[in-house]
Amino acid sequence: MAHAAQVGLQDATSPIMEELIIFHDHALMIIFLICFLVLYALFLTLTTKLTNTNISDAQEMETIWTILPAIILVLIALPSLRILYMTDEINDPSFTIKSIGHQWYWTYEYTDYGGLIFNSYMLPPLFLEPGDLRLLDVDNRVVLPVEAPVRMMITSQDVLHSWAVPTLGLKTDAIPGRLNQTTFTATRPGVYYGQCSEICGANHSFMPIVLELIPLKIFEMGPVFAL
């Protein structure tokens, strides 16, 4: 999870998030290069006293500064489209979890385990134990296995919500009357936090998401033990 004074993104826990971090660094280097060239040109314009009458009619220069931005956009668009299609791929998921957004809590249904359903509420400050995180911990965590493709079916019962876990690279809107889906494969065990990322009312800030990722052998014993 994020920590105080953090500048970069959270550590990746899924292949999709690793690709997003790589693309972020790729785009950032291009932006730095553009900013440096623009500032350098402004500096020369403001400091030099020399003028060149050929600049007013330079076909070669106009061709370069028309084609070069197009090439830069292509270098940004191609990796972006690749990741976009990767996020939409759902190849034979091992588990399916349904998440329903409410004002202001989440309901989860393990469709592969006889319709196991439970609600997940934020823990009030009076119920926090040492080590729990204020405004982030919940009473019932979502327990899932690592290194197994998981499909999330996300919807809402009242207003717009958004199911988001940054370290997994997930953010899917929960829309009333519509069932959205996303998939992820966690690469390492741990406890990962997220929050509703769509303004959904007065208590929008108080419906966190907590995923507890455990080895597959332990998960096969049954997810009920974590409730």
Q: Where are the domains of the chain?
A: 15-48+57-88, 95-221
Instruction: Give CA–CA dist 206/204, Å, rounded.
Output: 6
pLDDT at 223: 52
Strand ranges, E, within 111-224: 116-120, 142-145, 150-156, 161-165, 170-174, 180-184, 190-196, 208-214
How high does pLDDT run on average in the chain?
A: 86
Report the number of secondary-structure helices (H) and strands (E) in the chain. Answer: 3, 10
Q: What is the pLDDT of residue 6?
A: 78
Instruction: List phi, psi (to 5°) of 71.
Output: -65, -40
- Give the pLDDT confidence score for residue 23 in this predicted structure: 93
* Predicted pLDDT at 50: 67
On whether the CB atoms of residues 207 and 158 are closer than 8 A, the answer is: no
Confidence tier at 227 by pLDDT (50, 70, 90)? very low
Average the pLDDT over 108-130 and give the result.
87
Fold of domain 95-221: Immunoglobulin-like (2.60.40)
Predicted TM-score (pTM) of the model is: 0.81
Q: What angle do CA 191, 140, 200 make, to 5 degrees?
A: 90
